[in-house]
A and B are shown apart, each in its own frame.
Chain A
Amino acid sequence: MTGPSPARRRLLPGLRSRRWAAVAAVGAALVLSGCQIPSFGAYKGATTQGQDAYKLWQGFFITGAIIFLLVFLLILWAVLRYRRKTEAIPAQTQYNTAFEIIYTIVPVLIVLGLFVFTFITENEVDALSTTGDPVTVNVTAFQWGWEFQYPTYDVKVLGVETQDPEMVVPANETIHVFLRSSDVIHGFYVPAFNFSRYAQPGVTNQFDLNITHTGTYRGQCTQFCGLYHSLMLFRVKAVTTSQFDTWIQQKQSTPQSSGSIAQAKREILQGRAS
């Protein structure tokens, strides 16, 4: 009485080949899709820097998901398989040196691998362009708004929490940002760029943005900065180079709003008080 019944034996080859077909289909789909790995909820990155971070995210997500599933299934198996059925006392095993060494060494290797990719990507994301002529923007965060100042063109955009300021920059060019704060710590964060950096009193942070698509991207302060932190929004508008030149000329020809950060802050407090 060993082996499956005739009926079951007839079924088996079919089952087996169908299962293999399914595995092959999934495998082929993964290979063919290649660069179309899902985004796992993250932005794909509207800058070259953001795209590098996005690829790293995908790698980390897949690695994390595999480890999660493996450990999840191990726990589930232990919980389902070894539920108490008798009052017998199981073998009182305490050590298995081979296993313990394996589950120490393998994670070390995985972590080192993750670190190598981290290291490469963080150098790409933080790299500052040394060639060309980047468009420089001085970004100053304050309670509660942003000032975007273009030193090359002597142009300034100042916005407060009731009227989100727009940082207009050309796409497909290097934007070099100097980031400062005039009071407390703020966070310059554009989700679509997969990037944020603190604006801190006493520190001038610098970073490059290479925006690959024109469009308007929302930004927001991420570091809690007091009462109106929730309302400290801004936009980054990436336009073509010619549109950018037009915008600059427009700004230069219209009289500059003489507003300063100090004035803006005074107005915020007065406006809120009244």
Chain B
Amino acid sequence: MTDVIDLPVTGAGVHHPVVHEHGADHGHDEHGPSGLLKWMTSTDHKVIGLSYMITAIVIFYLAGLMALGVRIQLASPTSSFVTLGQYNELFTMHGSLMLYLFAGPFAFGGLANYIVPLQVGAPDMAFPRLNALSYWLYLGGSVTMLMGFFVAGGAANFAWVAYAPLSNVTNSPGAGADAWIMSLALTGFSAIFTGVNLVATIFYLRAPGMTMFRMPIFTWNMLVTGILILIAFPVLTAAVVLLVADRHFGTHIYTVVGCTTTATAGHPAVADPTACGSPVLWQNLFWFFGHPEVYILALPYFGIATEVFPVFSRKPVFGYKGMVFATMAIAALSTGVWAHHMFTTGVVLLPFFSLLSLLIAVPTGIKFFNWIGTMWRGQLQFTTPMLFCIGFLFAFLMGGVSGVMLASPPIDFFTHDTYFVVAHFHQVLFGTTVFAGFAGLYYWYPKMFGRMLNERLGKAHFWVMFVGFWVTFMPQYIVGLKGMPRRVATYPTNLGWHSWNFVSTVGAFIIAASFAILLVNLWTSWRRPVPAGNNPWDAHTLEWFTTSPPPHHNYTHLPPIRSERPTWDYNHPEHPTLAHGPGHNGSSNGHAGHTNGSVATTEVPAS
């Protein structure tokens, strides 16, 4: 086959004008700095992506250790493994690290940074230096949050949601709280810059022939994630700036202190709501960020699963366009459901937020059926990434069903802030960020390092984690329904909560064991590399067309792009996608290669 597009190696040609700027920074990587200096000065999206992923995985292990601390404390009702104060720091930092510093940055800073330019055939992100700034802000923010453990008064201890007025300076006077707030501001800007970069890259740097509806679903999901970041993160960043003003500049934006009326007969002093700030405002702002954030954390991982299922089923993704529209529907709905975190405040319009929250089940269900449809009548190969994705389906199914229950206010009234909710969101978040996230790691590791991870160890990791997952989180539903609140360090002995908590703690240690296996696997691959080749999985998308790891500017040649899986089309010209849907042109062309020259020169991205 000779039907590939030759690209100028420097990337300074007609296709990608932006590359010129990038090239001017560093020239050819062969002559650039190496070693630590390369990692510190690089603006290559692959180096930055790896930096992001390594940092995020270190954070993940730290936060996992904190979770073990929480579980040890809860294994018995009146444990004194940690003090009440230390316990509050532990669960606050576990949640904050996992949500702000692992789950998001691993996906949109790490995987997306590395994979999206490759998937769209671009030589780098649109703004390479901004990309580097994102990483350094993220690293700085992460260190800032962790520094909380080393200041007087300890780390932040007001839970990852920092509800006002608990987070004000009277109730949380320590410097750890300020470090936490500063960390959110830094990582918030980091996320915003990454969002800008992703959206610009996807809109402007696609290779010739890569129309929007030929983008892989992972790239589609990262586009929507980028837009959601631009909607949600500025709100959080603004909200924490106001929190700083409350804490240090004497404002009363989130507090009613200083504007209370005098006590009346039989009543304690109450606030005059027209004359002062409102703690509920924090909740509204926080969750207006917080719920889109849940999908900022979920959509990239849905994207990973949507890459893995087709490859190991040897089929195109089922219902490609439905998948895209379902992603958009989830994103749109996610901006209108924030108050379902506030059903028990008594000050939100229940039916509106309930209906919108319930409706999210519909596009999510479409995704489920599309994933099943992708496997249907396929040739399934149970590699490690595939196993992790099937595990993700089961985990997310359970978390999704309990999520529908929580969308109903009368049920939320008695499950809110109990372990039922803890079980629900851990199944959703663990299902996505851990099951699908590590599917992504196993899947793309060969591309990133040119070497394979050990399949036997990978499968052991999966099975141990799969068992640990159910043992940890199912008992939490049960104690939640029995009335055990979340964020408690001790609990009464006579309520039958003890044994279930003990089981849950055992499960947490099983999960921890599975992550020890991952470390062994990474170590093995580092010490005794097994070469991967360009495309060890017979995968579909563009990134598998280049070498593993890819060269500095990613591609010297591109195959013709006639569908969302150009590498498959190139390798299996006799098995094109059978499109039965309306408006799906081009991809059923079985002779994709023959006219590539004209396509390549006519469809230049309009940057």
* A175 within 8 A of partner (CB): no
Task: Identify which of A67, A104, A220 contacts B401 (C-beta below 8 A).
Answer: A67
* B271 within 8 A of partner (CB): yes
Interface hub of A72, A95, A121, A147 (most chain B Cβ within 10 A): A95
Contact A184 B165 (CB under 8 A): yes
Q: Contacts A97-B582, A122-B409, A223-B417 given: A191-B483 contact, CB under 8 Å?
A: yes
**Chain A interface size range:** 35 or more
Contact A185 B279 (CB under 8 A): yes
* B16 within 8 A of partner (CB): no
Residues of A40-99 whose CB lies within 8 A of B:
40-43, 50, 52-53, 56-57, 60-61, 64-65, 67-68, 71-72, 74-75, 78-79, 82-97, 99
CA distance A220 to B66 in the complex (A): 25
Q: Specify which chain A residues have a CB less than 8 angstroms from the CB of B591 in the assembled complex.
A: none
Q: Which residues of A contact B (CB under 8 A)?
A: 40-43, 50, 52-53, 56-57, 60-61, 64-65, 67-68, 71-72, 74-75, 78-79, 82-97, 99-100, 103-104, 107-108, 111, 114-115, 118-119, 121-122, 125-126, 138, 140, 147, 149, 151, 154, 180, 182-185, 187, 189, 191-198, 200-207, 218, 220-231, 233, 261
- The chain B residue sitting closest to A114, CB to CB, is B358
CA distance A205 to B575 in the complex (A): 64
Task: Identify which of B268, B279, B280, B366 contacts A261 (C-beta below 8 A).
Answer: B268
* B501 within 8 A of partner (CB): no
Q: Give B325 Cβ to nearest chain A Cβ, in Å.
A: 10
Contact B486 A56 (CB under 8 A): no
- The chain A residue sitting closest to B404, CB to CB, is A64
Residues of B361-409 whose CB lies within 8 A of A:
361-362, 365-366, 368-369, 372-373, 375-382, 390, 393-394, 397-398, 401-402, 404-405, 408-409
Q: Specify which chain A residues have a CB less than 8 angstroms from the CB of B359 in the assembled complex.
A: 108, 111
Interface hub of A74, A122, A187 (most chain B Cβ within 10 A): A122
Given contacts A89-B314, A221-B485, 14 further A-B contacts (CB under 8 A): A42-B414, A75-B393, A82-B377, A92-B578, A94-B579, A95-B320, A107-B365, A114-B358, A122-B354, A138-B266, A151-B266, A189-B414, A200-B280, A218-B495
Residues of B285-315 whose CB lies within 8 A of A:
313-315
Q: Specify which chain B residues have a CB less than 8 angstroms from the CB of A230 in the assembled complex.
A: 84, 488-491
CA distance A226 to B495 in the complex (A): 23
Q: Specify which chain B residues have a CB less than 8 angstroms from the CB of A89 in the assembled complex.
A: 314, 379, 572, 575
Q: Contacts A68-B401, A75-B372, A78-B372 given: A56-B410 contact, CB under 8 Å?
A: yes
CA distance A42 to B354 in the complex (A): 21
Task: Identify which of A67, A95, A194, A231 contacts B581 (C-beta below 8 A).
Answer: A95
Q: Give B164 Cβ to nearest chain A Cβ, in Å.
A: 8
Q: Specify which chain B residues have a CB less than 8 angstroms from the CB of A88 in the assembled complex.
A: 379
Contact A82 B584 (CB under 8 A): no
- The chain A residue sitting closest to B490, CB to CB, is A230
Contact A97 B163 (CB under 8 A): no
Contact B414 A53 (CB under 8 A): yes
Q: Contacts A56-B410, A197-B344, A224-B486 given: A180-B268 contact, CB under 8 Å?
A: yes
CA distance A115 to B359 in the complex (A): 9
- The chain A residue sitting closest to B477, CB to CB, is A41
Q: Specify which chain A residues have a CB less than 8 angstroms from the CB of B381 in the assembled complex.
A: 83-84
